[in-house]
Structure 1
Amino acid sequence: METMRVIDKIRQLIPPLSPGYHKGQAGRVCVIGGSDEYTGAPYFSSFSALKLGADMAFVVCQPTAAVAIKSYTPGIN
């Protein structure tokens, strides 16, 4: 039952979405991380934020990691 209470509290924190919102009004996330060898964590963190309702997700990383992170999701720059 503790889990249900936690979920209810989280639902109270998340504002309802509205069709009248503009891009970014339902949340923006900035993920900082990544390197030549470690590109998965920033990608999965930002993509998860989008899946959970954030409107925009930015990844700040080394230029050499940007190519790999961008290649995971074609069409997203």
Structure 2
Amino acid sequence: MKEWAMTKLTEKQLARAREDFDRYDTNGDKKVTVAEFGSTMEKYLTPEDFKALLAKINSDGNDEISWDEFLTDYENDLGT
């Protein structure tokens, strides 16, 4: 897992990223499944946009978003 010292995020940004990740990880197993992510994102995205977002975040293509994948995407979105 990425440690705080290895990220360019501030402590506040890192805490927010963790809160967001934990919100998606509804069963607390430290990974976000397509179903977990979709249950929230389907309210905001078309199916095509959801697939594109998932492909961008889920870099290993295993249909689960790890904390490292989530944090990397979070950093990229913030431009850090």
TM class by smaller structure: under 0.3
TM-score (norm 2): 0.26
TM-score (norm 1): 0.27
Q: Which has the larger radius of gyration?
A: 1
Structure with the largest fraction of helix:
2
Q: Which has the higher contact order (CA 8 A, sep 6+)?
A: 2
Structure with the largest fraction of strand:
1
